[in-house]
Amino acid sequence: MAIHIAEPDTGRQAMTDLAQAFSSVREQSCRLVQPLSAEDCCVQSMPDASPAKWHLAHTTWFFETFILERFEAGFRPFHPAFRVLFNSYYEGVGEKHPRAQRGMITRPSLEEVLAYRKNVDQRLLALLAQALTPEFGCELTMLVELGLQHEQQHQELLLTDIMHLLSMNPLLPPYLSSAAVTDAGAERIASALQWQSFEAGVIEVGHKGAGFFFDNETPRHRQFVESFSMASRLVTNAEFLAFVEDGGYNNPLLWLSAGWDWVAQQKITRPLYWQDAHAQFDSAWREFTLQGLQPLALHDAVTHLSFFEAEAYARWAGTRLPTEAEWECAAAYSGAAAGADYFGVAWQWTTSSYAPYPGYMALPGAVGEYNGKFMVNQYVLRGSSVATPAGHARLSYRNFFPATARWQFSGLRLARS
Amino acid sequence: MAIHIAEPDTGRQAMTDLAQAFSSVREQSCRLVQPLSAEDCCVQSMPDASPAKWHLAHTTWFFETFILERFEAGFRPFHPAFRVLFNSYYEGVGEKHPRAQRGMITRPSLEEVLAYRKNVDQRLLALLAQALTPEFGCELTMLVELGLQHEQQHQELLLTDIMHLLSMNPLLPPYLSSAAVTDAGAERIASALQWQSFEAGVIEVGHKGAGFFFDNETPRHRQFVESFSMASRLVTNAEFLAFVEDGGYNNPLLWLSAGWDWVAQQKITRPLYWQDAHAQFDSAWREFTLQGLQPLALHDAVTHLSFFEAEAYARWAGTRLPTEAEWECAAAYSGAAAGADYFGVAWQWTTSSYAPYPGYMALPGAVGEYNGKFMVNQYVLRGSSVATPAGHARLSYRNFFPATARWQFSGLRLARS
Amino acid sequence: MAIHIAEPDTGRQAMTDLAQAFSSVREQSCRLVQPLSAEDCCVQSMPDASPAKWHLAHTTWFFETFILERFEAGFRPFHPAFRVLFNSYYEGVGEKHPRAQRGMITRPSLEEVLAYRKNVDQRLLALLAQALTPEFGCELTMLVELGLQHEQQHQELLLTDIMHLLSMNPLLPPYLSSAAVTDAGAERIASALQWQSFEAGVIEVGHKGAGFFFDNETPRHRQFVESFSMASRLVTNAEFLAFVEDGGYNNPLLWLSAGWDWVAQQKITRPLYWQDAHAQFDSAWREFTLQGLQPLALHDAVTHLSFFEAEAYARWAGTRLPTEAEWECAAAYSGAAAGADYFGVAWQWTTSSYAPYPGYMALPGAVGEYNGKFMVNQYVLRGSSVATPAGHARLSYRNFFPATARWQFSGLRLARS
Amino acid sequence: MAIHIAEPDTGRQAMTDLAQAFSSVREQSCRLVQPLSAEDCCVQSMPDASPAKWHLAHTTWFFETFILERFEAGFRPFHPAFRVLFNSYYEGVGEKHPRAQRGMITRPSLEEVLAYRKNVDQRLLALLAQALTPEFGCELTMLVELGLQHEQQHQELLLTDIMHLLSMNPLLPPYLSSAAVTDAGAERIASALQWQSFEAGVIEVGHKGAGFFFDNETPRHRQFVESFSMASRLVTNAEFLAFVEDGGYNNPLLWLSAGWDWVAQQKITRPLYWQDAHAQFDSAWREFTLQGLQPLALHDAVTHLSFFEAEAYARWAGTRLPTEAEWECAAAYSGAAAGADYFGVAWQWTTSSYAPYPGYMALPGAVGEYNGKFMVNQYVLRGSSVATPAGHARLSYRNFFPATARWQFSGLRLARS
């Protein structure tokens, strides 16, 4: 939930800008499903993932429930059942359809969901065009911004969920044709790994300045960080392959105890989308990507690792994962430098469990369920990935997933004391 | 698998008739999915059920694999991956896609599967139009007949699987509009229950005469049946409601031990599609049907019962389920009588576990996997249901499901010694 | 439950004989636990098995609940909590301790349970010494006989449950010292397999004559049996080893579909207690027995097979399992012949699911729960095993277990049509 | 693992003291099982708990494997199989018996395990009596100290595991007679809750000074702690009862999302050992304790809470759990004050996930597996409980359990920002 120290601007021009941002984000969601059929959009590949159609509907539900229902005169829901059907986890809003059954919803159809989007979009834009009291305008602006950030989060999930679904199909269909990928075939060369040192001291951590932020990034507060070094770039596929070929997945001494149990039970032997194609192809390793099955790009950052895999790799390499505070400190210093890949490539696992900052308070009301209630048994990832929408990333952003989650574009950056 | 004592007729007229039957059955499958969207056809609602699209593809795979691959000159598969993707359980044919993941197959699309059907249909019809040696013609005819019977079985499953999927959707969408149901609103009155007695003696059981049959109906053999009586009609919803209201689901003494465990663990309190709508509606009980949610039709036969529920009801009523042999004996005598509902209403659970008849032999080859390997921990149902395709039912037909299966149109007819 | 056509003899001598039989059976149970420590007697190795102490207490509970509570003047329970604690599955008697938690009962101690036995024994013997009215005497006699047969069943389970527990201990401790086994080292040679033929016809099946029987053996009734042949002896370890070495556990075409799923999921590759000791020992196969780990006795009957394994072996051998009726017919003819091993070696799986005989009726009251409610998803075994108490076996005896059960002394005898 | 900055004293007197400490700790373990039978000591009540006999053997295995095997001339194991049987989780030591099957080990008997203890004790004492080189003496001393601390941890687990086992027995037998409890009947009155404030600033956290410590308490390092207040005493049963009676277990808004799922699935409605005895007794709530079932002691600290329950209570009370650093800061200040209950009553959940301190390094070798590999998905508890052995607690001690663990004496102390 967004907390703005200063009142947001609710002047006419500001509202026009907001309307434009609204339209742009909403259209982008629809663009993401253009390469997909209604069938692709309907199926749920695992309880952790959601159908693309559900993402399209749930983000719309968010605007309808938290904004239209509150601000629109004579509000009537688009469809009474949608309130339950597309509620994700807001206990304060009432009943919700069970998460694991999101894939059963063949009706409403994709077409109907797109009509639902259109309807809510029009009503939302009409609302923004109205003259509002400053008080209402302020709250409305904050909620619309929250809704757009929320939708951008679902855009990334939509991509990773679709990728997981397609990976379950033995035909391994691509999401995008290779032609759509501009740099296909371009050989990238990873830079040499360097270590950047940081002195011990008290630093500030958390959101600062203007612009949107989630409540979990606040309050900005002080932390003492002992001296540490941070790697100049992400770990590559080639480097991770050395771990695999060194028997990394077979050596219990490299793993956390719970990680070793997971590896053994799930028979994990490589990153989620790698395929050992020695038998079928001339060259060895392939990776399923949004462009279908491709030769493993050795110089690219390794992705689709669980926390357990990232942590084991770091131990094997004689290093460790950074803490959130270390990451934020290093990224603040060198994040924008040429060649730095803090953002836009792969989410980076930290060793920090997802916990409230000192003095953290969830806002009252249902939107207060956005972040705080997930602060247990999850680990923080920092940065952003190739799938993160433009403009959505920032220094203080805290992404989080359980230690076994692998279907995000999750990699790692090494640290050492 | 069909076993014909006499050689089938492979003359020109016979082949023309076969081609016509082929087209008719194949078209019927496509007709069944006309009320459905591609999304409806894609989703798998539980491991026991399959997506409609999978039914359409698998029945086509059956013709392609067991007939075209064998008889067509210069055979080339429509798509090499389909051999694995749409193999249900034939170990003799090689790899198969895991049953529980049939719903992941968003590609091929419904459209592509319909094209697959068209392609195989054309090639099959071309084959039937050829002049064949009598030997080949004979085997071809037998396999085509088997394929058509196989497709009819899947037509019934397609309906019950779709019904289950729609029942998982909180919107409870109907498969058919009520308007499509000719007798909607027509009040049926169940006839009075009467008991038909049969003397003890040796009877013959199993397939007799010309016409198609599955291998599990053979060999026809003798059984000694002690004297028994059979109910003149099926148990009705009203009668089963009396069991419910008498606390039938709460009394362990009425249940088989494993049935009671199932009732307790799954919290079963009524037939699968019944809804206790006292709170929401004026009248009490509703039932989800192919026409959506409807008032419970008290005079209709109760359906969607597990073996356990049927068996407990019979005990509560001071009676029992019939054996297969008793059912076949009684149906042979009175099956065609006016008012008899041995066929076309509801499959009838028997107390007979699904087992080979004395001297049963599965045929060699992959088609021999059709029946025999399922002969354990399943119970036989006799008759046929409203969802059984016309012409598919017969006296010696043995349907079978596990004791907990409820999503078929399964009811019961009482017997007593 | 016993049904006696004629009234049992309740004269003084008869009652003295009954008291003697009572003491003898009760002492035998205590003898069985003499090689065991209190710890051995307390632990439950799997939900299907029970601790030896529980067997000792439950069989006592049976006499206390069904006899003393009914016939003893001024009855007071030995311990009020035992009524629930040692109830196995009698819903008609009230609450029962959950089966899977029988191993949690470290108190009462083994010593206290033995005191419980002693107390109930004394009171039961006092009852038998009383002068009773014929009517009471008749019912008492029947219940005591039932209790003794019940205890003998638990004596066999006690042995197989203890054997399973010891097999879970990496030390593989023997139940008996090898010295206690008189024929240790005696080389047995299996006789040549011969086939005994039987003509088709109506036979009678079920209990006949005087003596005790369970309700599931009745009513004696007619069955038509087609002609068949039965093997002259049980399948041996050497014969089953040939199946193993021929890849029997790796070939899905030899298995029922549910059996193949079980083999694959549980990674079954051999009979329950076999160990492939090629790596550790000079000779290859060993078997865990009541005398600890022993070289596999190639000429002995194979035991500890599931129904699935027995059925697959029979298919591999080009034969099949017999039905109950076939087994009873053949055993009646040749069961007592020299060399015949119908009894006393291994229970023999039949292809018959456990079902009520025509006209079967469970007796009223809690003892009516003894048999009937288990008649689903179980398969009948006939004969008796090395672990069956002397005098407990008979021609019409129906043992039954699920298709996956392996911890009994269960083997097979082949049949063919 | 212990890290001593200074060399430990290995002079003669020091070694005599160490031998005395050794004997004292070892005897205490045996004293703990004196109220128990061999049966009590053998059974495992859940995978998380271990049998008392296993605790006795495993702590002995620790001395034998890590000390005797290394230092004893002509070392021969007491029993070769024990190396595997009583290895808990040390991958570096080789094979280990599966954790969930510790209760299957009826052999060796309790008596044999006590003999094993005696044998190892004698050999260990003989070793300590030898003249050793300073280098060996130093390492030996460190390992013996580690072994004793390890044994003390298992003494607490032995008590909580036994308590759990007894709680599974419907007879609810006490571990101790009430007579053994000196203050039984003494009415305690909880003091009024007060808040102690602490200023923001950099503090030092982690082990300081001489004396034993585990590696997870190091290195001592700086943390910035924002200002906070800490409660003067633990939350009482009476206070927690108010939460229960206010519907705390029924309100999803009070719980972490994963906590709410856990409450719903496991049907949790109260602390682990509470019993709602309104129906059976005159007064309402009872609690199962080491003295058996007792009236709920309203003024005592609430115990046997999971992290989820503690966290939900804190939210309900408008407060929060402290972090580790806050706890250590407050305990350092007021821990020894009169009335302070930082130690000796109940472990106190913190909001800190169990993670390595900055610069943490596990020692090389198998003893390095002691702590580090468990640093994921667990939460830290601070202080000590009634079950903690005398002398085992200290300011920097970090206990840890998963968020659902309830069978320890775990309670909470409130904090606020």
**Per-residue pLDDT reduced to its tens digit, D17-35:** 999 999 999 999 999 999 9
Nearest to A378 by CA among A406, A396, A407, A355: A355
Rg (chain C; Cα; Å): 22
**Token output for A244:** 């695999």
Name the residue in chain B with its Cα closest to that of C359.
B417
Tell whether the model's pLDDT for residue D279 goes beyond 70.
Answer: no
Query: How far apart, in whole angstroms, are the C-alpha atoms of residue D10 and residue D135?
Result: 9
Whether A369 shows a pLDDT value over 50: the answer reads yes
- Identify the residue with better confidence: C366 or A216: A216
Subunit partners of chain D (3 or more CB pairs within 8 A): A, C
> How crowded is residue D168: how many other Cβ atoms within 10 Å of its Cβ?
17
DSSP run (H or E) holding B266? helix B257-266
Q: Which of D84, D104, D170 sits opposite C43 (nearest CB)?
A: D104
Interface residue of D319, D373, D404, D416 to substitute, partner A, most A CBs within 10 Å: D373
Which residue among B104, B105, B169 places its CB closest to the CB of A104? B169
pLDDT the model gives residue A35? 97
Task: Please check the confidence at residue D257 and state whether its pLDDT lies above 70.
Answer: yes
- The confidence score (pLDDT) of residue C281 equals 57
Residue C6 in domain? no
Domain end call among B124, B155, B173 = B173
Instruction: Flag whether B touches A (3+ CB pairs, 8 A cutoff).
Output: yes
Helix (H, G, I), strand (E, B) or coil at C386: coil
More confident of the two residues D138 and C61: C61
Q: Cβ atoms within 10 A of the Cβ of C225, count?
A: 22
pLDDT at B6: 53
Q: Residues B372, B232: one domain? A: yes
Mean pLDDT of chain D: 92
Q: Assess whether A215 and A270 both reside in one domain.
A: yes
Token pair recorded at residue C123? 């009171």
Q: What is the pLDDT of residue B281?
A: 56
Nearest to D54 by CA among D68, D71, D33: D33
- Which of C201, C196, C259, C258 is CA-nearest to residue C226? C201
B352 interaction partners in chain C (CB closer than 8 Å):
355
Residue type for position D64: E
Q: Which residues of A touch D323 (CB under 8 A)?
A: 358
| Parallel, antiparallel or unpaired: strands D195-198 and C415-416 | unpaired
pLDDT, average across residues D305-322:
98
Rounded to a whole number of angstroms, the distance between the first and last alpha carbons of chain B is 34
Q: What is the largest CA-CA distance in chain A?
A: 68
Say which CATH number the domain at D219 has. Answer: 3.90.1580.10
User: Do residues A270 and A196 share a domain?
Assistant: yes
* Statement: residue D263 has pLDDT above 90: yes
Residues D167 and D184 in one domain: no
CA-to-CA distance for A194 and C398, rounded, in angstroms? 77
The string of pLDDT tens digits covering residues B269-281 is: 999 999 987 666 5
What Cα–Cα distance (Å) separates residue B337 from each residue in A158, B192, B233, B286, B413?
59, 15, 11, 31, 16
Three-state DSSP string of C174-236: CCCCHHHCCCCCCCCCCCCCCEEEECCEEEEECCCCCCCCCHHHCCCEEEEECCEEEECCCCE
Cβ within 8 Å of residue D87, ≥6 positions away: D58, D61, D65, D93, D94, D95, D96, D97
Instruction: Please indicate, yes or no, whether residues C255 and C330 belong to a single structural domain of this protein.
Output: yes
DSSP letter at C104 equals G
Question: Would you tell me the crossing angle of helices D12-32 and D110-129 to the nearest 10 degrees?
Answer: 170
Q: What CATH number is associated with residue D66?
A: 1.20.120
pLDDT of residue C336: 67
pLDDT score, position D152: 97
Within-domain flag for D330: yes
Residue B223 burial (10 A CB sphere; 0-12, 13-18, 19+): buried
Cα of C206 to nearest chain D Cα, Å: 41
Q: From the CB of residue C291, how many other CB atoms can be counted at a distance below 10 Å?
A: 15
Look at residue C89 and tell me if it is in a domain: yes
Same domain, D187 and D169: no
Contact C/A (≥3 CB pairs under 8 Å): no
To which H or E segment does residue D110 belong?
Answer: helix D110-129
**pLDDT higher at C9 or D90:** D90
Task: Tell me whether residue C1 is in a domain.
Answer: no
Tokens representing D404 are: 């659902």
For chain D, the maximum distance between any two Cα atoms, rounded to a whole number of angstroms, is 68
Asked if C417's CB is within 8 angstroms of B359's CB, the reply is yes
In terms of C-beta distances under 8 Å and separation of at least 24 residues, what long-range contacts does D81-85 make, across chains too? D81/C170, D81/C171, D82/D57, D82/D108, D82/D116, D84/C170, D85/C170, D85/C171, D85/D57
Pick B104's closest partner by Cβ from A37, A41, A168: A168
Average pLDDT, chain A: 92
D6: in domain: no
Non-local (6+) Cβ contacts of D122 within 8 A are none
Residues of C in contact with B89 (CB under 8 A): 257
Give chain C's residues under pLDDT 50: 1-5, 182, 184-185
Give D41's contacts in chain C (Cβ within 8 Å): 39
Confidence band of A90 (pLDDT split at 50, 70, 90): confident
- Give the span between the Cα atoms of A357 and A219, in whole angstroms: 7
Query: CB-side exposure of B155: number of CA atoms within 13 Å?
Result: 23
User: What pLDDT is attached to residue A41?
Assistant: 98
Contact D106 C42 (CB under 8 A): yes
C39 contacts in chain D (CB < 8 Å) = 38-39, 41-42, 106-107, 109-110
Q: Which long-range contacts (CB under 8 A, 24 or more apart) does B88-96 make?
A: B88/B58, B89/B369, B89/C257, B90/B65, B90/B366, B90/B369, B91/B366, B91/B369, B91/C252, B91/C253, B91/C260, B92/B365, B92/B366, B92/B368, B92/B369, B92/C253, B93/B65, B93/B366
**pLDDT beyond 90 at D127:** yes
Supply the mean pLDDT for chain B. 92
Are D170 and C85 a contacting pair at CB < 8 A? yes
Residues B297 and C135: their CA atoms lie apart, in Å, by 52
> Is the distance from CB of D381 to CB of D403 less than 8 angstroms?
no
Tell me the pLDDT tens digit for each residue of D142-166: 999 999 999 999 999 999 999 999 9
Residue type for B331, please? A
How large a percentage of chain B has pLDDT more than 70? 94
Task: Please compute the mean of the pLDDT values over residues B390-406 and round it to a whole number.
Answer: 96
Give the Cα separation of D322 and D326 in Å (integer).
6
- Mean pLDDT score, D320-331: 97
Non-local CB neighbours of D222 within 8 Å, separated by 6+ positions: A200, A224, A226, D202, D203, D204, D205
ipTM: 0.93
- How far apart, in Å, are the Cα atoms of C50 and each of C40, C57, C60, D228? 11, 11, 15, 56
Position A88 pLDDT exceeds 60: yes
Nearest residue of chain C to residue B221 (CA atoms):
C226
Is the model's pLDDT at D55 over the cut of 60?
yes
So what's the pLDDT on residue A85?
93
Question: Which residues of B40-85 form beta strands (DSSP E)?
Answer: none
Dist CA A91 CA A369 (whole Å)? 8
Task: Grade residue A366 by pLDDT with cuts at 50, 70 and 90.
Answer: confident
Based on the fold, state whether residues B47 and B195 are members of the same structural domain.
no
- Tally of structural domains, chain A: 2
Q: Which residue has the higher pLDDT, C64 or B364?
A: C64
Domain membership flag for residue C203: yes
In whole angstroms, give the CA distance from residue B44 to residue B103.
5
Phi/psi of residue A284, each to 5°?
-85, -70
Q: Are residues C112 and C213 both part of a single domain?
A: no
- D8 burial (CB, 10 Å; 0-12 / 13-18 / 19+) is buried
Who wins on pLDDT, D373 or D279? D373
Whether residue D59 sits in one domain with residue D189:
no
Give the minimum alpha-carbon distance from B87 to chain C in angstroms, rounded to a whole number.
15
Q: Does residue B367 sit in the same domain as residue B400?
A: yes
Strands C347-353 and C410-411, sheet pairing? parallel
- Strand order across the B347-353 sheet: B399-401, B379-382, B347-353, B410-411
Residue D194 resides in a domain: yes
- In this prediction, residue A335 carries a pLDDT of 73
| Residue D5: predicted pLDDT | 44
Helix (H, G, I), strand (E, B) or coil at A250: helix
Secondary structure letter of residue D2 according to DSSP: -
pLDDT tens digits, one per residue of B152-162: 999 999 999 99
Residue at a domain's end among D141, D173, D205: D173
Nearest partner of A416 among A193, A192, A91, A222, judged by Cα:
A193
Residues C254 and C277 placed together within one structural domain of the fold: yes
Query: Other CB atoms closer than 10 Å to residue C353's CB: what's the count?
Result: 25
Yes or no, beta carbons of D222 and A224 under 8 Å apart: yes
**Lowest mean pLDDT: which of A181-195, A379-393, D121-135?**
A181-195
* In chain D, % of residues over pLDDT 70: 94
Q: Which of the residue ranges A256-270, D84-98, D296-310 would you say has the lowest mean pLDDT?
A: D84-98
Q: At what angle do helices A12-32 and A52-63 cross, to 10 degrees?
A: 160
User: One-letter amino acid identity for B56?
Assistant: L
- Which of A23-37, A395-409, C7-21, D391-405 is least confident? C7-21
Give me the domain span that covers residue C400. Answer: 180-416
Query: pLDDT by residue (tens digit) across B313-358?
Result: 999 999 999 999 999 999 999 876 768 899 999 999 999 999 999 9
User: What pLDDT does C2 receive?
Assistant: 43
Q: Bridge partners of A285?
A: A276
Does C376 contact B222 at a Cβ distance shorter than 8 Å? no
Is the same domain home to B225 and B329? Answer: yes
Residue A397 binned pLDDT confidence (cut-offs 50, 70, 90): very high
On chain C, the residues whose CB falls within 8 A of the CB of B307 are 376
Residues from chain A that touch D257, judged by Cβ atoms under 8 A, are 89, 373-374
Predicted confidence at residue D10, as pLDDT, reads 74
Interface of C with D (CB under 8 A): 37-43, 45, 81, 84-85, 97, 101, 103-110, 165, 168-171, 173
Q: What is the largest CA-CA distance in chain B?
A: 68
Rounded distance between C-alpha atoms, residue A229 and residue B82, angstroms: 53
Is residue D262 packed enough to be buried (19+ CB in 10 Å), middle (13-18) or exposed (0-12)?
A: middle
* A6 within domain boundaries: no
Domain edge (last residue) among C173, C206, C234: C173
Contact between chains at B257 and C224 (C-beta distance less than 8 A): no
Please give the pLDDT value at position B260: 97
Q: What string of H, E and C letters represents the secondary structure of B331-386? A: HHHHCCCCCCCCCCECEEEEEEECCCCCCCCCCCCHHHHCCHHHCCCCEEEECCEC
List phi, psi (to 5°) of C406.
-130, -10
**Would the CB atoms of C373 and B92 count as touching at under 8 Å?**
no
